[in-house]
Amino acid sequence: MTGEFTLSSALRRVFGITVISGTVTTAFVFLATERHWRRVLPFFLGDGESTAISGVARLTVHARLLATSLIVSLVPLAVLGVTSYTRAAALLGADPATATELVQSILVSIVFIMAVGTLAASVISGYVSTSVSAPLRRLETAMAEVEDGRLDVRCAAVANDEIGALTEGFNRMVGGLRDRERLRETFGKYVSREVRDEILSGRIPLDGQAREVTILFADLRDFTPWVEANPPREVVHDLNAYFTAMDGAIREHRGLVLQFIGDEIEAVFGAPLAYAGHADLALQAALEMRERLARWNAERQRAGKPPMRHGIGIHTGTVLAGNIGSAERLSYALVGDAVNLASRIQGLTKEVGTDILVSGTTRRLLGDGHELVGLPAVRVKGKSAEVEVYRVA
């Protein structure tokens, strides 16, 4: 009888130490270690992704929550069950005094088990809830920062579970937004912001459209002698300064610079975004270019450099506008006789001794308030009919 009791007691002790205490201790140590490692793991991972690491066991959020629920519920029940059974078995055949003591010991055991079980369950549940809620709060904060326009946000992915995958997906999404914003900013250096936004939104077809537009050509005078008389680095610096000033004037009046060809500028008003009054805007841009050139020349003269002159030709006509080029490289360009005529009118500025010439077609589309002086009709290269031109006073 005594040996049977000793074996039963030993089995209960083994069960309590290995199954009950071992399970709770293992869960506590694992969660405490994980909490510590999550603080230092970003230093080892850097910008890498934790879910991409091979050969690592993956503990999902589902498995984590399920294991925690079982531990905090089954362990106290198991302890209570074993304790109640052993005490109830001891009551069989016990005298009244011993039975009273056993009942009191059962009550003390139940209170003790409930207190210890509640404490252990609270600690383990707290660790698990923090391991789930903390990264989600960081994600929520990062999303709010992205909503405010901050695209330099990055969340450290410190787990290879579903939340880690969600964090890595968020980082890739923000990286894509940064790339898109970088594209927008880079694209904005080639076109106006308004045109850029229309093109990126897909509202402007770029596969070729017949459009009535106003074309502006500007060309520096005496460019070749200037290049020959100055060091190449200085020529490039001054040419970039000139282009910057002229491009600003064109953009300010909703124009698009199509290309810089040597010392020449080709710009269009009314494409790819169609709008009324493009002829007026082109002339206003030309007048602004005249003013900016005067201010730039004043700075050059103060620096002891000779002033520069340019000629501007403006013409309105129907062109084919769209993406043109090879399969590897495209550019937005205009094709049509109106483009050639605008370039020829720009060349006429040398012959008539003025800086801005407007075609008769453009003149008829202009509003009031412009001082234009009619010149004798001229014949330009490639045209059988004479061209009506006007000088801008």
181, 154, 180, 148: which is closest to 169 by C-alpha? 154
Please, are residues 279 and 254 in contact by the beta-carbon 8 Å criterion? no
Lowest mean pLDDT among 7-11, 20-24, 78-82, 226-230: 7-11
| Percentage of the chain modeled with pLDDT above 90 | 32
SS3 track for the chain: CHHHHHHHHHHHHHHHHHHHHHHHHHHHHHHHHHHHHHHHHHHHHCCCCHHHCCCCCCCCHHHHHHHHHHHHHHHHHHHHHHHHHHHHHHHCCCCHHHHHHHHHHHHHHHHHHHHHHHHHHHHHHHHHHHHHHHHHHHHHHHHHHHHCCCCCCCCCCCCCCHHHHHHHHHHHHHHHHHHHHHHHHHHCCCCCHHHHHHHHCCCCCCCCEEEEEEEEEEEECCHHHHHHHCCHHHHHHHHHHHHHHHHHHHHHCCCEEEEEECCEEEEEECCCCCCCCHHHHHHHHHHHHHHHHHHHHHHHHHCCCCCCCEEEEEEEEEEEEEEEECCCCEEEEEECHHHHHHHHHHHHHHHHCCCEEEEHHHHHHCCCCCCEEECCCECCCCCCCCECEEEEC
Lowest mean pLDDT among 179-188, 288-297, 310-319: 179-188
Q: pLDDT tens digit string along 134-175? A: 778 888 888 888 888 788 887 776 677 777 778 778 888 888
Inter-axis angle of helices 232-252 and 278-302, nearest 10: 140
pLDDT at 178: 83
pLDDT at 129: 76
Token pair for 118: 């509640």
Q: pLDDT confidence of 288, banded at 50, 70, 90?
A: very high
Amino acid identity for residue 165 in this structure: A
- Whether the per-residue pLDDT at 20 is higher than 70: the answer is no
Lowest mean pLDDT among 49-53, 184-188, 202-206, 382-386: 49-53
Q: pLDDT tens digit string along 269-285? A: 998 888 899 999 999 99
Q: Is 45 left (phi over 0), alpha (psi -120 to 50) or beta?
A: alpha
Please, are residues 129 and 68 in contact by the beta-carbon 8 Å criterion? no
71, 64, 43, 50: which is closest to 132 by C-alpha? 64
- Whether the per-residue pLDDT at 3 is higher than 60: the answer is no
- Whether the per-residue pLDDT at 4 is higher than 60: the answer is no
Rounded Cα–Cα distance for residues 377 and 393 (Å): 18
- Whether the per-residue pLDDT at 5 is higher than 60: the answer is no
pLDDT at 1: 39
Please, are residues 208 and 325 in contact by the beta-carbon 8 Å criterion? no
Token pair for 331: 């550019």
296, 187, 281: which is closest to 243 by C-alpha? 296
Q: pLDDT confidence of 2, banded at 50, 70, 90?
A: very low
Could you give the domains of the chain? 2-180 (no CATH), 208-392 (3.30.70.1230)
Lowest mean pLDDT among 123-137, 194-208, 375-389: 194-208
- Classify each residue of 253-270 as buried b or exposed e, where b means 16 or more C-beta atoms within 10 Å of its C-beta: bbbbbbeeeebbbbbbbb
Q: What is the mean pLDDT of the chain?
A: 81
Site of tokens 């050639």: 340
Instruction: Give the Å distances, CA to CA, from 268 to 24, 186, 274, 315.
Output: 75, 20, 11, 10
Q: pLDDT confidence of 81, banded at 50, 70, 90?
A: confident
- Whether the per-residue pLDDT at 206 is higher than 70: the answer is no
For 162, counting Cβ atoms within 10 Å of its Cβ (0-12 exposed, 13-18 middle, 19+ buried), the class is middle
What's the whole-number mean pLDDT along residues 303-318? 94
Q: pLDDT tens digit string along 90-112? A: 666 667 777 777 777 777 777 77
Please, are residues 251 and 215 in contact by the beta-carbon 8 Å criterion? no
pLDDT at 97: 75
More confident residue, 17 or 373: 373
Instruction: Give the Å distances, CA to CA, from 41 to 32, 47, 52, 59.
Output: 14, 11, 14, 17
Provide the pairing of β-strand 310-325 with 356-359. Answer: parallel
Q: What is the pTM of this model?
A: 0.60
70, 34, 71: which is closest to 160 by C-alpha? 34
71, 249, 62, 231: which is closest to 161 by C-alpha? 62
pLDDT at 59: 67
Rounded Cα–Cα distance for residues 165 and 301 (Å): 63
